[in-house]
Amino acid sequence: MSTVLILLGSFLVLLLINVPVAFCMSLACVLAFLWKGAIPLLTLPLKLSSGIDAFPFLAIPLFILAGSLMEHGGISQRLVRFAKDLVGHIRGGLGIVVVVSEVFFSGISGSSIADASAIGALLLPSMVRAGYTPPRASSIIAAATGMGILIPPCLNMVVLGAMANISIAGLFMGGFLPGFLMALTLMIIIYYQSSKGILPGPDQARARMREVMIAFKESIIPLMMPVIIFGGIFGGVFTATEAASVATVYAFIVSVFVYKEVKGKDIYRIVVETAVMTGVVCLLVGAATCFSWILATHQVPRMLGDFIGSASGGKVVFLLLSIAVFFIFGALLDGLPAILIFFPILYPIAQSLGLHPYHYGVLVIAIIGISVVVPPIGLCLVIICSLAKIKLSDTIRPLMPYIAILVIDLFVIAFWPWLVLFLPAIFKL
């Protein structure tokens, strides 16, 4: 037991003094190995490399590369144009445009951070011009980013699926309906606020059918990307890694040869940045593999499971506890580390309680999505606020109603598994 205390204690201390999370975990493992001296230090590099030694992990660099190429390739402007023509005339105008753009955009990019910076950079200025206060505009974009994590492809789903051996295709498919639920509830609340005069009214007159068609034609190339990815995966043609590979080649051709907005120098920068991001993410995965392996050899997940199982109302208590744990640590540690540390501990318990892997997995992703846009630390919120040049604390009040509605959605997802399981069941995933 003392080993576990050393592990957790040193991890926490290192974390608080700003040592990067992957190194905190690795160093905590090293100290735990040295403490009793029973396990050779060799285990650390062994786990670091074996933790990522599975074909599904290859989807990580490929999705990062594809998303980044598309992001710099001039597609976001086209998608936003299309969203404006589709829904810009509705009450709540630009706010609703943000939500719809985010649905489109996160269907192409796999990371919330990319979404937040792309949508934020594009829509913040026009929102402010239309009369939104910067904190309100930032809040809407933050809330939409939190929702967007559920619209696949999603890097966190890839990592979670590859790590826990859950079908990534199943997680992707399971994320759609909860994502749409969140998008819908966000749009309703924006509509309501707009009709109460809290938010400005419609953005533009209803676009003529011809204009909508032109905008649609402009965005058909980027919108083909999710079609390729999901058509392939859900049709059973591709694995997630293969789909990511095809998506990368598609994104490369579109951004370099069709739109010609990505030049040679940009390609180099984007590719190197992909390698760095991959290294950062996968080192974290490897370190977490070692970390949770030590916890598992000391029976920590089993003891926690017994403890929770003995509490009355096992399943409900467990789901509430999961929401609390991932919400708090997602906000404190950022999404991925929270998943990597707590999912291996909590997932076996979820299984023993009879929760469906897709249901639990998608729920965790949804919680993480919201937690990274919650003040005071949420990473995505930080990015949006720096784009809007406002203080993080300014967003606390305007963000509240959106976070509240998203949390309500969260409970719907937690206690109504059908929402997640319906689509995977239809596609027999």
Partner 1 sequence: MTKFLKNIVEHFCFLLVMILSAVVFFQVLNRFILKGPWAWSEELAMLLFQWVVFLGAAVGVKRMSHFGIDLVVEKLSGNTRRCLELVVPIAIGAIALTLIIEGFKLLKLTQNQVYTTMPFSHAWATAAMPVSGFLMILYLIQREVKIWKKKEEEQSA
Q: Which positions lie near partner 1, rule CB under 8 A?
A: 14-24, 26-27, 30, 40-42, 44-46, 48-49, 52-53, 55, 57-58, 61-62, 65, 237-238, 241-242, 245-246, 248-249, 268, 271-272, 274-280, 282-283, 286, 332-334, 337, 377, 379
The CB-of-335 to partner 1 minimum distance in angstroms stands at 10
> How many CB atoms lie under 10 A from the CB of residue 294?
22
Three-state SS at 98 = helix
> Residue 130 corresponds to which tokens in the numbers above?
């239309």
Helix or strand (DSSP H, E) at 265: helix 264-297
> Residue 55 corresponds to which tokens in the numbers above?
């074909």
Residue with Cβ nearer partner 1 (282 or 355) = 282
> How many CB atoms lie under 10 A from the CB of residue 332?
13
The CB-of-41 to partner 1 minimum distance in angstroms stands at 5
Residue with Cβ nearer partner 1 (45 or 131) = 45
The CB-of-148 to partner 1 minimum distance in angstroms stands at 20
- Measured CA distances, 350 to 51, 84, 294, 338, 418 (Å): 22, 42, 20, 17, 17
Three-state SS at 203 = coil
The CB-of-53 to partner 1 minimum distance in angstroms stands at 6
> How many CB atoms lie under 10 A from the CB of residue 338?
25
Residue with Cβ nearer partner 1 (63 or 104) = 63
Closest C-alpha to 293, from 36, 55, 53, 39: 39
The CB-of-275 to partner 1 minimum distance in angstroms stands at 4
Residue with Cβ nearer partner 1 (118 or 287) = 287
Residue with Cβ nearer partner 1 (47 or 136) = 47
Query: Do 366 and 123 meet the contact criterion of CB atoms below 8 Å apart?
Result: no
b/e sequence 116-151, b meaning 16+ C-beta within 10 Å: bbbbbebbbeebbebebbbbbbbbbbbbbbbbbbbb
Q: Alpha-carbon Rg of the chain, whole angstroms?
A: 22
Residue with Cβ nearer partner 1 (33 or 318) = 33
Residue with Cβ nearer partner 1 (49 or 299) = 49
State whether the Cα torsion 257-258-261-267 is positive or negative.
negative
Residue with Cβ nearer partner 1 (55 or 411) = 55
Residue reference for tokens 């957790």:
8
The CB-of-326 to partner 1 minimum distance in angstroms stands at 17
Residue with Cβ nearer partner 1 (337 or 424) = 337
CA end-to-end span of the chain: 40
The CB-of-143 to partner 1 minimum distance in angstroms stands at 22
197, HSE (Cβ side, Cα atoms, 13 Å): 0
Residue with Cβ nearer partner 1 (15 or 199) = 15
Burial class (CB in 10 A: 0-12, 13-18, 19+), 28: buried
